[in-house]
Amino acid sequence: MKTPLVNLVITIATTFWLTGCGTSDSSTPEVRNNLFEQPADNGDNTCGIRQTLLAQKVLNNDTDYYADILAMWKRINADTYENYPNGVPNGDSVDALTERFETTPLPTVYTEVEVDAVDGGPQTLPSSILDIFKEDGYKMVRYYIDEDAIDDAFMITSLVDDEIDFFIQRFPAAERVDINISDPDSDFRAMFSNVNSYYIVVVNEGAHWIGVTPSSVYDSLTSGPVQDSVTFGRRYGDQSNFNTFTGLVLEIQKQ
Protein backbone atom coordinates (compact mmCIF):
# COMPACT_ATOMS: atom_id res chain seq x y z
CA MET A 1 0.00 0.00 0.00
CA LYS A 2 1.82 2.92 -1.09
CA THR A 3 0.03 6.18 -0.50
CA PRO A 4 1.53 9.24 1.01
CA LEU A 5 0.38 9.99 4.44
CA VAL A 6 -0.19 13.35 3.06
CA ASN A 7 -3.70 12.01 2.97
CA LEU A 8 -4.26 10.83 6.43
CA VAL A 9 -7.04 9.18 4.74
CA ILE A 10 -4.82 8.04 2.07
CA THR A 11 -2.27 7.06 4.42
CA ILE A 12 -3.96 6.75 7.60
CA ALA A 13 -6.57 5.73 5.24
CA THR A 14 -4.19 4.01 3.10
CA THR A 15 -1.56 3.63 5.42
CA PHE A 16 -3.41 3.72 8.49
CA TRP A 17 -6.27 3.05 6.69
CA LEU A 18 -5.03 0.87 4.14
CA THR A 19 -6.84 -1.62 2.21
CA GLY A 20 -5.70 -4.91 0.88
CA CYS A 21 -6.91 -8.16 -0.30
CA GLY A 22 -5.67 -11.44 0.84
CA THR A 23 -5.64 -14.76 -0.77
CA SER A 24 -8.64 -16.91 -0.07
CA ASP A 25 -9.02 -20.44 1.18
CA SER A 26 -11.43 -22.57 -0.81
CA SER A 27 -12.87 -24.30 2.25
CA THR A 28 -15.10 -21.38 3.27
CA PRO A 29 -14.41 -18.73 0.64
CA GLU A 30 -16.79 -16.12 1.96
CA VAL A 31 -14.77 -15.60 5.13
CA ARG A 32 -11.43 -17.31 4.63
CA ASN A 33 -9.16 -14.51 3.41
CA ASN A 34 -5.51 -14.83 4.42
CA LEU A 35 -4.65 -11.83 6.62
CA PHE A 36 -1.01 -12.09 5.59
CA GLU A 37 0.63 -12.05 2.17
CA GLN A 38 -0.92 -8.71 1.23
CA PRO A 39 0.04 -7.98 -2.38
CA ALA A 40 2.72 -5.29 -2.47
CA ASP A 41 3.19 -2.46 -4.97
CA ASN A 42 -0.04 -3.06 -6.87
CA GLY A 43 -2.51 -0.72 -5.23
CA ASP A 44 -3.54 -3.06 -2.41
CA ASN A 45 -4.11 -0.84 0.62
CA THR A 46 -5.69 -3.20 3.12
CA CYS A 47 -3.08 -3.15 5.88
CA GLY A 48 -5.29 -1.16 8.26
CA ILE A 49 -8.16 -3.60 7.83
CA ARG A 50 -5.83 -6.55 8.23
CA GLN A 51 -4.34 -5.10 11.43
CA THR A 52 -7.81 -4.57 12.90
CA LEU A 53 -8.55 -8.24 12.32
CA LEU A 54 -5.11 -9.46 13.38
CA ALA A 55 -5.29 -7.53 16.66
CA GLN A 56 -8.49 -9.35 17.55
CA LYS A 57 -7.01 -12.69 16.55
CA VAL A 58 -3.85 -12.25 18.60
CA LEU A 59 -5.63 -10.89 21.69
CA ASN A 60 -7.84 -13.99 21.62
CA ASN A 61 -4.87 -16.34 21.15
CA ASP A 62 -6.32 -17.36 17.79
CA THR A 63 -3.64 -18.52 15.38
CA ASP A 64 -6.03 -19.07 12.49
CA TYR A 65 -5.06 -15.96 10.56
CA TYR A 66 -8.02 -15.94 8.19
CA ALA A 67 -11.04 -13.63 8.22
CA ASP A 68 -13.47 -11.81 5.96
CA ILE A 69 -11.59 -8.69 4.84
CA LEU A 70 -14.51 -7.26 2.87
CA ALA A 71 -16.88 -7.47 5.85
CA MET A 72 -14.44 -5.50 8.02
CA TRP A 73 -13.83 -3.12 5.12
CA LYS A 74 -17.56 -2.32 5.04
CA ARG A 75 -17.70 -1.65 8.79
CA ILE A 76 -14.68 0.65 8.73
CA ASN A 77 -16.03 2.50 5.72
CA ALA A 78 -19.40 3.02 7.42
CA ASP A 79 -17.72 4.45 10.50
CA THR A 80 -15.70 6.84 8.37
CA TYR A 81 -18.91 8.21 6.83
CA GLU A 82 -20.38 8.61 10.30
CA ASN A 83 -17.31 10.36 11.71
CA TYR A 84 -16.77 12.56 8.63
CA PRO A 85 -20.18 13.06 6.99
CA ASN A 86 -18.89 16.06 5.08
CA GLY A 87 -15.57 14.52 4.13
CA VAL A 88 -12.21 14.69 5.84
CA PRO A 89 -10.69 18.13 6.55
CA ASN A 90 -8.51 18.28 3.44
CA GLY A 91 -11.52 19.42 1.44
CA ASP A 92 -12.28 16.26 -0.55
CA SER A 93 -15.53 14.44 -0.03
CA VAL A 94 -15.44 10.89 1.24
CA ASP A 95 -16.69 9.74 -2.15
CA ALA A 96 -13.78 11.43 -3.91
CA LEU A 97 -11.27 9.94 -1.52
CA THR A 98 -12.58 6.41 -1.76
CA GLU A 99 -12.08 6.43 -5.51
CA ARG A 100 -8.34 6.44 -4.84
CA PHE A 101 -8.44 3.04 -3.20
CA GLU A 102 -8.64 0.51 -5.95
CA THR A 103 -7.71 -2.90 -4.71
CA THR A 104 -6.10 -5.18 -7.26
CA PRO A 105 -6.20 -8.04 -7.46
CA LEU A 106 -9.38 -8.44 -5.48
CA PRO A 107 -9.72 -11.44 -3.20
CA THR A 108 -11.18 -14.09 -5.48
CA VAL A 109 -14.41 -14.24 -3.49
CA TYR A 110 -15.20 -10.58 -4.12
CA THR A 111 -16.92 -9.20 -7.18
CA GLU A 112 -16.55 -5.76 -8.72
CA VAL A 113 -20.16 -5.09 -7.66
CA GLU A 114 -19.32 -5.83 -4.02
CA VAL A 115 -16.32 -3.56 -4.12
CA ASP A 116 -18.27 -0.77 -5.79
CA ALA A 117 -20.84 -1.07 -3.01
CA VAL A 118 -18.22 0.05 -0.50
CA ASP A 119 -16.93 2.86 -2.69
CA GLY A 120 -13.94 1.09 -4.19
CA GLY A 121 -11.85 0.82 -1.05
CA PRO A 122 -11.69 1.35 2.71
CA GLN A 123 -11.11 4.50 4.67
CA THR A 124 -9.08 3.00 7.47
CA LEU A 125 -8.63 6.04 9.64
CA PRO A 126 -7.54 5.36 13.22
CA SER A 127 -10.84 6.75 14.51
CA SER A 128 -12.78 4.18 12.48
CA ILE A 129 -10.60 1.37 13.69
CA LEU A 130 -11.11 2.48 17.29
CA ASP A 131 -14.87 2.47 16.71
CA ILE A 132 -14.63 -1.17 15.64
CA PHE A 133 -12.54 -2.12 18.65
CA LYS A 134 -15.01 -0.46 20.99
CA GLU A 135 -17.98 -2.16 19.34
CA ASP A 136 -16.25 -5.55 19.54
CA GLY A 137 -15.21 -5.36 23.18
CA TYR A 138 -11.65 -4.10 22.93
CA LYS A 139 -10.08 -0.89 24.20
CA MET A 140 -7.21 1.43 23.46
CA VAL A 141 -5.35 1.78 26.74
CA ARG A 142 -2.56 4.02 25.49
CA TYR A 143 -1.29 5.75 22.39
CA TYR A 144 2.22 6.94 21.65
CA ILE A 145 2.52 9.93 19.36
CA ASP A 146 5.05 12.31 17.89
CA GLU A 147 2.50 14.86 16.73
CA ASP A 148 4.98 16.99 14.77
CA ALA A 149 6.16 13.92 12.86
CA ILE A 150 2.61 12.80 12.16
CA ASP A 151 1.66 16.28 10.97
CA ASP A 152 4.67 16.29 8.63
CA ALA A 153 3.88 12.85 7.31
CA PHE A 154 0.18 13.38 6.75
CA MET A 155 0.35 17.05 5.79
CA ILE A 156 -3.22 17.54 7.00
CA THR A 157 -2.90 19.05 10.45
CA SER A 158 -6.62 19.54 10.89
CA LEU A 159 -7.27 15.87 10.20
CA VAL A 160 -4.66 14.82 12.75
CA ASP A 161 -6.29 17.16 15.27
CA ASP A 162 -9.71 15.67 14.55
CA GLU A 163 -8.37 12.14 14.86
CA ILE A 164 -6.84 12.88 18.27
CA ASP A 165 -10.18 14.32 19.37
CA PHE A 166 -11.83 11.06 18.31
CA PHE A 167 -9.23 9.13 20.34
CA ILE A 168 -10.26 11.08 23.43
CA GLN A 169 -13.97 10.69 22.72
CA ARG A 170 -13.78 6.94 22.12
CA PHE A 171 -11.43 6.08 24.97
CA PRO A 172 -11.22 8.99 27.43
CA ALA A 173 -9.22 6.88 29.90
CA ALA A 174 -6.50 6.08 27.36
CA GLU A 175 -3.11 7.48 28.25
CA ARG A 176 -1.34 9.74 25.76
CA VAL A 177 2.45 9.35 25.68
CA ASP A 178 4.37 11.97 23.70
CA ILE A 179 7.50 10.69 22.02
CA ASN A 180 10.26 12.13 19.85
CA ILE A 181 11.15 9.85 16.96
CA SER A 182 14.11 12.03 15.96
CA ASP A 183 15.90 11.21 19.22
CA PRO A 184 18.56 8.60 18.30
CA ASP A 185 18.74 7.47 21.93
CA SER A 186 15.07 6.51 22.11
CA ASP A 187 14.34 2.81 22.50
CA PHE A 188 11.09 2.57 20.58
CA ARG A 189 10.91 -1.21 20.84
CA ALA A 190 10.71 -0.86 24.63
CA MET A 191 7.21 0.57 24.22
CA PHE A 192 5.90 -2.83 23.16
CA SER A 193 6.36 -4.60 26.46
CA ASN A 194 2.88 -5.56 27.67
CA VAL A 195 2.07 -9.20 26.91
CA ASN A 196 -1.65 -8.40 27.14
CA SER A 197 -1.46 -5.75 24.42
CA TYR A 198 -1.35 -5.63 20.65
CA TYR A 199 0.36 -2.55 19.24
CA ILE A 200 -0.67 -1.15 15.85
CA VAL A 201 2.29 0.83 14.53
CA VAL A 202 2.54 3.28 11.64
CA VAL A 203 5.73 2.77 9.65
CA ASN A 204 7.43 3.76 6.40
CA GLU A 205 6.52 7.44 6.53
CA GLY A 206 2.90 6.61 7.10
CA ALA A 207 2.59 4.24 4.18
CA HIS A 208 2.00 1.05 6.13
CA TRP A 209 0.62 -0.37 9.37
CA ILE A 210 2.10 -3.35 11.16
CA GLY A 211 1.30 -5.09 14.45
CA VAL A 212 3.80 -5.66 17.24
CA THR A 213 3.80 -7.65 20.46
CA PRO A 214 6.68 -8.13 22.93
CA SER A 215 7.87 -11.15 20.97
CA SER A 216 6.56 -10.87 17.42
CA VAL A 217 5.94 -8.66 14.40
CA TYR A 218 2.72 -9.06 12.40
CA ASP A 219 3.35 -7.54 8.98
CA SER A 220 0.61 -8.31 6.47
CA LEU A 221 3.13 -8.01 3.62
CA THR A 222 4.82 -11.18 4.86
CA SER A 223 3.61 -14.77 5.01
CA GLY A 224 2.99 -14.85 8.77
CA PRO A 225 4.07 -13.66 12.22
CA VAL A 226 7.81 -13.28 12.75
CA GLN A 227 9.36 -14.00 16.13
CA ASP A 228 11.18 -10.73 16.57
CA SER A 229 11.85 -8.81 19.78
CA VAL A 230 14.24 -6.26 18.25
CA THR A 231 12.85 -4.53 15.17
CA PHE A 232 9.48 -3.17 14.09
CA GLY A 233 9.67 -5.35 11.02
CA ARG A 234 11.00 -4.16 7.71
CA ARG A 235 9.43 -3.51 4.39
CA TYR A 236 12.19 -1.91 2.35
CA GLY A 237 15.86 -2.87 2.38
CA ASP A 238 18.19 -2.51 5.32
CA GLN A 239 16.54 0.09 7.55
CA SER A 240 17.49 1.13 11.05
CA ASN A 241 15.08 1.36 13.98
CA PHE A 242 14.85 5.09 13.39
CA ASN A 243 13.84 5.49 9.76
CA THR A 244 10.86 3.15 9.67
CA PHE A 245 8.74 4.40 12.58
CA THR A 246 6.39 7.25 11.63
CA GLY A 247 5.30 8.33 15.11
CA LEU A 248 1.99 6.75 16.10
CA VAL A 249 1.26 3.58 18.07
CA LEU A 250 -2.18 2.41 19.22
CA GLU A 251 -2.01 0.00 22.19
CA ILE A 252 -5.05 -2.29 22.13
CA GLN A 253 -6.29 -4.73 24.79
CA LYS A 254 -9.38 -6.80 25.46
CA GLN A 255 -11.97 -5.15 27.72
Give dist(CA 79, CA 68) in Å, integer.
Answer: 17
- Locate the domains of the chain by residue range: 33-254
The count of other CB atoms within 10 Å of the CB of residue 170 is 18
Q: 217 with 189: CB under 8 angstroms?
A: no
Angle, vertex CA 101, rays to CA 95 and CA 105, nearest 5: 140
| DSSP helix/strand/coil, 104 | coil
122-164 confidence digits (pLDDT tens): 567 899 899 999 999 999 999 999 998 888 877 777 888 999 9
Domain 33-254 CATH assignment equals 3.90.70 = yes
pTM: 0.78
pLDDT tens for each residue of 11-41: 333 333 333 333 334 444 456 788 998 876 5
| Mean pLDDT, residues 196-213 | 88
Under a CB-based contact definition with an 8 Å cutoff, are residues 23 and 34 in contact?
yes
